[in-house]
């Protein structure tokens, strides 16, 4: 896939890659609250997406995806210092990419070299499902303030233009209007369904009410979404990749969901 320059056309949400603040503290397989709020930037896909049809919501139980060992990744986010769980991240991969993950992970212990190879495979995945589940409440203003701060970091890195930064910053209250007063509650879920030419984003409340459901169609979207988790230096990369080398039982996988 051809590379994109900072000024070229890439959908707003997927031009954002997350960075750790200088005060971040990482404990595998745990990442910091700050890094989660960077991930929240990804949800600006709603800005340019089109409303999804009344299709079934993406699900970690989908039979479209690969099953068994080395087909999924899992991690927990914990708030620094206070040791308060914030959310879980679960990822399942498609059937085409699964054999490549099996080849790299089966019978091997994690190493930086193998981790790099797994990350590259994951970045190239165009069939995956990602679910983030809150295990505590997060205020909307707290979320938007952090997104704006992190947008500045991404802009400083040359990954988005000043125009895109302004568009996203000003658009957040509108795009996430259903959440402005409500905020994010315990057991809310963010769902991302990555396909070869699109990414669907849904925000679902604990009672099943769909708060947001949008689809962005663009051939570059899947790669940049996956790079947001697996690019070098991101807090997601190592904990997620490490989890592949420690496959859970099916009962554990279901419990995590």
Q: pLDDT for 206-240, tens place per residue?
A: 999 999 898 878 776 677 677 767 777 666 789 99
Residue with tokens 């568009």: 167
pLDDT at 212: 85
Nearest C-alpha neighbor of 40 from the set 177, 163, 173, 132:
132
Burial 189-227 (b: 16+ CB within 10 A, else e): bbbbbbbeebbbbbbbbeeeeebbbbbbebebbbbbbbb
pLDDT at 65 over 70: yes
pLDDT at 20: 35
Helix crossing, 98-105 with 112-123: angle to 10°? 180
- Average pLDDT value for residue range 122-144: 88
Q: CA-CA distance, 130 to 58, in Å (whole number)?
A: 9
Domain residue ranges in the chain? 12-51+65-245
Residue with tokens 């709603």: 46
User: Model-level pTM?
Assistant: 0.72
Is there a contact between 144 and 120 (Cβ–Cβ < 8 Å)?
A: no
Cis check for the bond before 222: say yes or no (omega within 30 of 0): no
């Amino acid at each position: 896939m051809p590379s994109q320059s900072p000024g070229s056309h890439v959908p707003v949400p997927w031009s954002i890659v997350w960075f750790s603040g200088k005060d971040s503290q990482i404990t595998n397989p745990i990442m910091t609250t700050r890094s989660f709020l960077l991930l929240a930037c990804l949800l600006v896909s709603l800005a340019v997406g089109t409303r999804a049809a009344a299709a079934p919501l993406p699900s970690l139980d989908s039979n479209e995806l690969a099953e068994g060992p080395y087909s999924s990744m899992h991690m927990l986010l914990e708030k620094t210092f206070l040791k308060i769980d914030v959310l879980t991240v679960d990822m399942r991969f498609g059937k085409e990419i699964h054999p490549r993950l099996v080849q790299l992970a089966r019978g091997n212990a994690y190493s930086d070299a193998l981790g790099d190879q797994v990350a590259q495979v994951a970045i190239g995945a165009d069939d995956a499902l990602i679910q983030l589940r809150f295990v505590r409440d997060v205020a909307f203003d707290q979320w938007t303030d952090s997104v704006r701060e992190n947008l500045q970091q991404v802009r400083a890195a040359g990954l988005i233009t000043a125009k895109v930064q302004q568009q996203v910053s000003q658009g957040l209250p509108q795009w996430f209007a259903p959440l402005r007063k409500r905020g994010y509650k315990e057991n809310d879920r963010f769902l991302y369904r990555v396909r070869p030419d699109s990414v669907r984003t849904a925000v679902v409340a604990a009672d099943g009410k769909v708060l947001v459901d949008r689809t962005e169609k663009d051939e570059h979207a899947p790669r940049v979404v996956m790079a947001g988790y697996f690019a070098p230096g991101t807090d997601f990369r190592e904990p997620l990749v490490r989890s592949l080398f420690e496959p859970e039982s099916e009962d554990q996988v279901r419990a995590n969901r």
